[in-house]
Amino acid sequence: MVPLDKYGRRILVAGRHADDIGCQCGGWTVSWQGSSGKTMISTTMLEGVRDAAGNETEDICDTSPSEATLCDQEFSYAVVATGEDAHAESSGDRTELGIPPFDGASTVSLVASKVPTVVIVVLRRPLVFEPELLEKIDALLPGSEGRGIADVLFGGHDFEGVRAACNLVQVSGSVARECWAHVVTDTWIEDESGQTKL
């Protein structure tokens, strides 16, 4: 489905993260834990889509559209932005790799059942998704410029990046616990007589 047609007649932009720069930037941006809303002068994903789409294209932003809206409006396609809220350590600590329940899940399901849909998931770290959410775009801390996301959605730039140095697990529980243990190497301290091994 990507690249999206810039000249679609009517585009739906949905999901709470579509027009929320605080969630787009995450923690340690303006404050320690971050916050939602217009926290700084920047470009949200909604603004990026509006800039990238053709002048004749009508875009409708509805955070949580109803089934009636989806049936009546005859959307060419939808972009749904959802994911994790802004956080840093402490409030963002997790013991599981699976994605926590998020309030955009019902929006994703409803919109995708009625309209061709691209899902953008705003994340702070790699998480495990259910199989039905595998057709998605992961936006790992996309930052302050939503136009960058729109560039790849509409084909202005290709998806590219640096591969991770290791393979990320696909399913929670597929890696033995001992593999996640910290590796402690020999530690040395220096005192008056020279180095001492701990």
Task: Tell me the CATH number at 127.
Answer: 3.40.50.1700
40-44, 45-49, 121-125, 162-166 — most confident range: 45-49
Handedness of CA 108, 149, 144, 29 (dihedral sign): positive
Q: How many domains does the chain have?
A: 1
Distances (CA, A) of 109 to 11, 65, 80, 88, 104: 17, 11, 10, 28, 9
Residue with tokens 């640096």: 162
Tell me what pLDDT residue 27 has: 78
User: Which pLDDT belongs to residue 143?
Assistant: 86
Closest CA to 78 of 138, 21, 5, 158: 5
Instruction: Identify the weakest region by mean pLDDT among 15-29, 60-74, 75-89, 172-186.
Output: 172-186
- How high is the pLDDT of residue 90? 80
Strand-strand pairing, 77-83 and 10-14: parallel
Nearest to 2 by CA among 126, 168, 156: 156
Asked if the model's pLDDT at residue 127 lies above 90, the reply is no
Q: Over pLDDT 70: what percentage of the chain?
A: 74
Whether residue 193 is contained in a domain is answered as: no
Tell me whether residue 112 is in a domain.
yes
Nearest-angstrom CA–CA distance, 12 and 74: 10
Strand pairing partners for 119?
A: 80
Residue 50 covered by a domain: yes
Domain region containing 133: 10-165
Burial state string for 172-184 with b = 16 or more CB within 10 A and e = fewer than 16:
eeeeeeeeeeeee
* Confidence class for position 158, pLDDT limits 50, 70, 90: confident
**Residue 189 maps to a domain:** no
Residue 197 belongs to a domain: no
Domain annotation covers residue 181: no
pTM, two decimal places:
0.76
* Low-confidence winner among 3-17, 68-82, 184-198 (lowest mean pLDDT): 184-198
Q: What is the pLDDT of residues 174-187, one digit of tens each?
A: 555 555 554 445 55
Mean pLDDT of 97-104: 64
Whether 95 is covered by a domain: the verdict is yes
Residue 155 domain-assigned (yes or no): yes
